Amino acid sequence: MNTRRDFLQILAASAATLPFLPLSGLANDLSKVDQSYDGPVLRVAIMGLGGYGSRVAEAMKACTKAVLAGVISGTPSKIKNWQAKYNIPEKNCYSYENFDAIKNNPDIDAVYVITPNALHHDQVIRVAKAGKHVICEKPMALNAKEGEEMVDACKKANVKLLVGYRMHFEPKTLEVIRMRNSGEFGKIMFFQGQCGFNIGDPNQWRLNKQLAGGGSLMDIGIYAINGSRYMVGEDPIWVTAQETKTQPERFKEGVDETVQFQLGFPGGAIASCLSTYAMNHLDRFFLTGEKGFAELQPSTGYGPIKGRTHKGELTQPHSTHQTIQMEEMADIILSGKSPVVPVNGEEAVKDLKIIDAIYLAAKTGKRVTI
């Protein structure tokens, strides 16, 4: 595995051979790098160069253990723009049709899949077959069956499969988890998760059943699902759910607008959660136990996260979530580090099983065992 210093030397040499790349920009980027770190570096190709892919790329500028080494896109103009902006050599650029060729590219260790939900399954399996580690955005798949197939494919290929659970590394969130683990809240009784916003462009892929696999639950509701698990510290054993649709002309068949769901946990705690594409100002987690409480509001946005407990305000400093995530994921892949809260494919399958159960409960009106 190349070290950080090795990569930077190769990057500078590659950029020097490409006259259209701004070498002054490269010098500025290199000046921001922690030159004291010379350990292993995870060389990442981003697949899907949309808004969130750009956010991850910008955040990675501050990483010391992970670097942007390649791009995969279906839009040639985006590839050219990213080459110029991030000094990416031509040999590390691929389309959706030919990216299997990364198998023969030693400059790429992992691919971060940031494409519409319905594409994850096949793309992750192709990356695994090419022998590269995979980071996949959430939800990892459209359902638990797809997720299990992705996990199996990565195990068969002997590559790691991680999922973009950035909140698992967020300092205030981790402090709440620490307090719960140490018993400071006592027996956990109740969790509430509210996640939603008024979605914009009606033509975006998130409102396309074939690409998104659903609606608000798949996109924003998964934060409440996953959050209920890491806040309570258990996996739910049953779910009930109700779907409300006030704008059927906007939210077509199979694209949920608002879903309320309730979860039951083996220790006796219950959760009440809301996922919506029709209301703003909903980004709040609340946890209460016999001895105390914790509240995060905002709880899952890009930050800064704000929170308080029965002991007072949470004061952990804010850092860019995607920077922390990529640094931690580099440690997981390169050094086998175990995070406080898992971010592997198996963790994602647990969320997908809950999503499957929520949709079934909303459809049937019955309690569904998980």
Residues acting as catalytic residues:
138, 223
CA dihedral 337, 338, 343, 344 (to 10 degrees): 80
110 near 1, Cβ under 8 Å? no
Q: Which helix H or strand E contains 212, and what residues bound it?
A: helix 209-212
* Burial degree of 41 (CB within 10 A; 0-12, 13-18, 19+): buried
What is the widest separation between alpha-carbon atoms in the chain?
65
Q: How many Å apart are CA 166 and CA 208, to the nearest integer?
A: 25
Q: How many Å apart are CA 288 and CA 285, to the nearest integer?
A: 10
87 near 117, Cβ under 8 Å? no
What are the DSSP E strand ranges found in 279-337? 282-289, 293-296, 307-309, 312-313
Q: Could you tell me how far CA 258 lies from the centroid of its own chain?
A: 22
Count of alpha carbons within 13 Å of 302, Cβ hemisphere only? 7
Only one residue has tokens 């992705």, namely 150
Question: What is the Cα Rg of the chain in Å?
Answer: 21
